[in-house]
Amino acid sequence: MRLVQFVQKSSPNYLQFGVELDDGGNVVDLSHIAPNTLNFIRGGEYAIDVAKSYLKTSPPSLYGADVELDAPINGMDKVICIGMNYKDHVEELGAQMPKEPLVFNKFPSCIVGPSADVPYPKITEELDWEVELCVVIGKKASNVDQSEAMDYVYGFTTAHDVSARDWQLRRNGGQWLAGKAMDSFAPIGPAVVTKEDILDPHNLNLSCMVNGEVKQNSNTRNFVFGVDFVVSWVSQFSTLLPGDIILTGTPGGVGTNMKPKQFLKVGDVVECRVEGIGSVINKI
């Protein structure tokens, strides 16, 4: 299933929860089953069964053109991020392959929708792009073994890890948080795709385009640490809760590593896409 949160263009102040029948396709309202994606995930297998039974009745749907998608999930407890987790990205940095995941975070308030504008912070001069596969946790996970980690994964979505490189790399005493967690620095969407519909999260094409020009083009088979390892690793020191998300890292092709360096400008349009999930398209 493709879980979405949306507003009808005729009622833009009323956020609804539903299922998108296809990427960019019609949407079935499921607000009578759960008020939002987070509550639906908390409902576990029972909520999924109820939704599937309802969808089998061929319920009415809304035309995709008549709705605007919001972030497919919000209100989560944690937004975890993994750095230097693609071999091609580590290579372009000229760094050694990490021996353990590099973990940092954003705030839940950083989350915005797949078509939201991203304000250019006045405090930075080095705004950069990063396409990422984002994991959505389905149930409480603490000290989980790698062999069982995928049991705790609910699904996946596309993320744009917007980054202020000056604040990430040279300011704030070397701590990444300020450069990674400014307002609107985590566009996600267009849907949370349940894991049953993603055949192999370790073989997904992903790309980033700026103004139509391809900047990143890779595949999750280039992960340094796979989804199962990352979920297990994070759960050793931080209990993951239903709805928590993990941005799993970005491949090579970020602007700060180009020669000469390239950074985003006001008016630029960034499209981050993951195979089987779809795109987030955000104007700076």
- The pLDDT tens digits of the residues spanning 128-139 come to 999 999 999 999
pLDDT of residue 92: 86
Measured CA to CA, the distance from residue 157 to residue 194 in angstroms comes to 9
What is the tens place of the pLDDT at every residue in 21-79? 999 999 999 999 999 999 999 999 999 999 999 999 999 999 999 999 999 999 999 99
- Whole-structure pTM value: 0.97
Q: What angle do CA 224, 277, 194 make, to 5 degrees?
A: 90
Cα separation, 98 vs 12, whole angstroms: 45
Neighbour-count burial of 203, counting CB atoms closer than 10 A to its CB (0-12 exposed, 13-18 middle, 19+ buried): exposed
Give the pLDDT score at 56.
97
Instruction: Tell me the average pLDDT of the chain.
Output: 97
Q: How confident is the model at residue 94 (pLDDT cuts 50, 70, 90)?
A: confident
pLDDT at position 12 is: 87
C-alpha closest to that of 181 among 124, 263, 224: 124
Place of tokens 């083009």: 217
Per-residue DSSP letter, 266: T
pLDDT in tens, 108-149: 999 999 999 999 999 999 999 999 999 999 999 999 999 999
Positive or negative, the CA dihedral 76, 78, 84, 87 is: negative
Cα-Cα-Cα-Cα dihedral of 222, 226, 227, 230, to 10°? -120
- pLDDT category of residue 93 using cuts at 50, 70 and 90: confident
